[in-house]
Amino acid sequence: MSSIESVMNETRVFEPAESFKAQANVKGMDGYRALCEQAEKDYEGFWAGLARELLVWKKPFTKVLDESNAPFYKWFDDGEMNVSYNCLDKHLATQPNKIAIIFEADDGKVTKITYKDLYHRVCTFANGLKALGAKKGDRVIIYLPMSIEAVVAMQACARIGAIHSVVFGGFSAKSLHERITDASASLIITADGQFRGGKAMQLKPAVDDALAMGGCECVKKVVVYQRTAGETAWDAQRDVWWHDAVQGQADTCEPEWVNAEHPLFVLYTSGSTGKPKGVQHSSAGFLLHAINTMRWTFDYKDSDIFWCTADVGWITGHTYVTYGPLGIGATQLMFEGVPTYPDAGRFWKMIQDHKITTFYTAPTAIRSLIKLGADLPKQYDLSSLRLLGTVGEPINPEAWMWYYNTVGQTRCPVVDTWWQTETGGHMITPLPGVHGLKPGSCTMALPGIMAAIVDEAGHDVEKGKGGFLVIKRPWPSMIRTIYGDPERYKKNYFPEDLGGKYYLAGDGANCDLDGYFWIMGRIDDVLNVSGHRLGTMEIESALVANPLVAEAAVVGKPHDIKGEAVVAYVVLKGARPEGEDAKKIVADLRNWVAKEIGPIAKPDEIRFGDNLPKTRSGKIMRRLLRALAKGEEITQDVSTLENPAILEQLKEVVK
Quick one: which of 519, 582, 625, 628 contacts ligand 6R9 (CB under 6 A)? 519
Q: Which of 524, 535, 507, 438 is nearest to 178 (CA)?
A: 535
Q: How far apart are CA 518 and CA 5, in angstroms?
A: 10
Partners of residue 277 on adjacent β-strands: 269
Residue 435 CB, nearest approach to ligand 6R9 (Å): 14
What residues numbered 533-562 form the site for ligand 6R9, per CB under 6 A?
533
Residue 103 CB, nearest approach to ligand 6R9 (Å): 23
Q: Is residue 323 a contact point for ligand 6R9 (CB under 6 A)?
A: no
Residue 484 CB, nearest approach to ligand 6R9 (Å): 19
User: Which positions from 391 to 420 touch ligand 6R9 by CB under 6 A, shown as an x/- string?
Assistant: xxxx---------------------xxxxx
Helix %, strand %, coil % of the chain (to 5): 35, 25, 45
Q: How far apart are CA 615 and CA 623, in angstroms?
A: 11
For ligand 6R9, which is the closer residue by CB, 153 or 415? 415
User: Near ligand 6R9 by CB under 6 A, which window of 61-69, 517-525, 535-543, 605-613?
Assistant: 517-525
Q: How far apart are CA 542 and CA 596, in angstroms?
A: 6
Residue 427 CB, nearest approach to ligand 6R9 (Å): 9
Residue 240 CB, nearest approach to ligand 6R9 (Å): 32
Q: How far apart are CA 2 and CA 521, in angstroms?
A: 13
Q: Is residue 278 a contact point for ligand 6R9 (CB under 6 A)?
A: no
Residue 363 CB, nearest approach to ligand 6R9 (Å): 8
If DSSP codes are grouped into helix, strand and coil, which group holds residue 246?
coil
What residues numbered 336-395 form the site for ligand 6R9, per CB under 6 A?
391-394
Q: How far apart are CA 474 and CA 77, in angstroms?
A: 14
The annotated binding site for Mg(2+) is made up of 544, 549
For ligand 6R9, which is the closer residue by CB, 329 or 506? 506
Q: Is residue 269 a contact point for ligand 6R9 (CB under 6 A)?
A: yes
If DSSP codes are grouped into helix, strand and coil, which group holds residue 285?
helix
For ligand 6R9, which is the closer residue by CB, 71 or 535? 535
User: Near ligand 6R9 by CB under 6 A, which window of 149-157, 198-206, 301-309, 518-526?
Assistant: 518-526
Q: Which of 245, 212, 31, 19 is nearest to 121 (CA)?
A: 245
The annotated binding site is made up of 196-199, 316, 392-394, 416-421, 507, 522, 530, 533, 544, 549
User: Which positions from 469 to 498 touch ligand 6R9 by CB under 6 A, shown as an x/- string?
Assistant: ------------------------------
For ligand 6R9, which is the closer residue by CB, 419 or 483? 419
Q: Which of 174, 206, 354 is nearest to 274 (CA)?
A: 174
Quick one: which of 507, 525, 540, 596 contacts ligand 6R9 (CB under 6 A)? 507
Residue 324 CB, nearest approach to ligand 6R9 (Å): 13
**Long-range CB contacts (within 8 A, 24+) of 463-466:** 463/511, 463/512, 463/513, 463/515, 464/510, 464/511, 464/512, 464/513, 465/510, 466/1, 466/4, 466/508, 466/509, 466/510, 466/520
Q: How far apart are CA 390 and CA 374, in angstroms?
A: 18
Q: Which of 577, 539, 293 is nearest to 419 (CA)?
A: 293
Q: Which of 107, 145, 555 is nearest to 312 (CA)?
A: 145
Residue 164 CB, nearest approach to ligand 6R9 (Å): 17
For 179, list phi and psi in degrees, rounded to 5.
-75, -40
What is residue 318's DSSP assignment? I
Please name the amino acid found at residue 280: Q
The annotated binding site for CoA is made up of 196-199, 316, 530
Please name the amino acid found at residue 340: T
Size of the site for ligand 6R9 (CB under 6 A): 22
What number of H helices and E strands is found in the chain? 22, 30
For ligand 6R9, which is the closer residue by CB, 357 or 364? 364
Q: Is residue 506 a contact point for ligand 6R9 (CB under 6 A)?
A: yes
What residues numbered 417-446 form the site for ligand 6R9, per CB under 6 A?
417-421, 442
For ligand 6R9, which is the closer residue by CB, 148 or 391? 391
Quick one: which of 74, 318, 522, 607 contacts ligand 6R9 (CB under 6 A)? 522
What is the binding site for ligand 6R9 (CB under 6 A)?
Answer: 269, 315-316, 391-394, 416-421, 442, 505-507, 519, 521-522, 528, 533
